[in-house]
Amino acid sequence: MIIKYGCVSLRAIEEKDFELLFYLINAPEIENATVGWNFPVSHVAHKQWMENFRNSFNSIKFMVELINSNTIGMVMLENIDWKNRTAEFGCKMSASPKDRIKGDMLDAIRGMLKYAFDELGMECVHGAVLENNIFSRKISKQAGFIEEGILRKRIYKEGTYKNVIAVSILKEEFVEEKGRSKRHC
């Protein structure tokens, strides 16, 4: 099922997403702003990954497509724990302002949370943001995530150990922003 929320659709990864995903996995400015890391990924390796990728019981990845048909990034639920009903949220985005719609990523996050709570039956969605990534911290708060605490010097990037903020949102805390689609899209 394609998930629609506000001005975004969350859809499966398609062949046409190759270049965007290749950029997202290799771009230094994205890796430096997020907690994850990768060795450089070649075109061949990326092609193989795309051919073999399937959403699974413990990992779901959706592309974020806007109502203007532009695809701006990806949202994920990883480490899905079906017994304890928890999942780890992640997202990556890259697009120029002219291709975007204000509030698009917030819609994408909320859309994924609604899917996690209302369709998958999750009780808690958690995540991690770098302490110095102001925009990630702001948008996670806007989406309803609560900052649970600081994981000290947990991630090593650009020559320094960085603090990580652990965030989470419970099903009962998730509030949809009613009428958003009318205001922004």
Segment 75-104, which members bind other proteins (CB under 8 A)?
A: 93, 96-97, 100, 102-104
Nearest to other proteins of 9, 34 (CB atom): 34
Among 11, 26, 32, 177, binds other proteins (CB under 8 A): 32
Dihedral of the alpha carbons of 97, 101, 105, 107, in degrees to the nearest 10: 180
Q: What angle do CA 169, 25, 54 make, to 5 degrees?
A: 70
Q: For 66, phi and psi rounded to 5 degrees?
A: -90, 165
- The minimum distance between CB 51 and other proteins, in angstroms, equals 31
Q: For residue 160, state whether it binds other proteins (rule: CB under 8 A).
A: no
Q: For residue 152, state whether it binds other proteins (rule: CB under 8 A).
A: no
CA atoms within 13 A on the CB side of 144: 19
Q: For residue 70, state whether it binds other proteins (rule: CB under 8 A).
A: no
From the list 35-43, 107-115, 130-138, 175-183, the region that binds other proteins by CB under 8 A is 130-138
- The minimum distance between CB 29 and other proteins, in angstroms, equals 5
Structure tokens at 85: 């009903």
Structure tokens at 174: 């998730």
Q: For 122, phi and psi rounded to 5 degrees?
A: -70, 150
From the list 1-9, 40-48, 133-141, 167-175, the region that binds other proteins by CB under 8 A is 133-141
Q: Length of the chain, please? A: 185
Q: For residue 135, state whether it binds other proteins (rule: CB under 8 A).
A: yes
Whole-number CA gyration radius for the chain: 16
Q: For residue 105, state whether it binds other proteins (rule: CB under 8 A).
A: yes
- The minimum distance between CB 32 and other proteins, in angstroms, equals 7
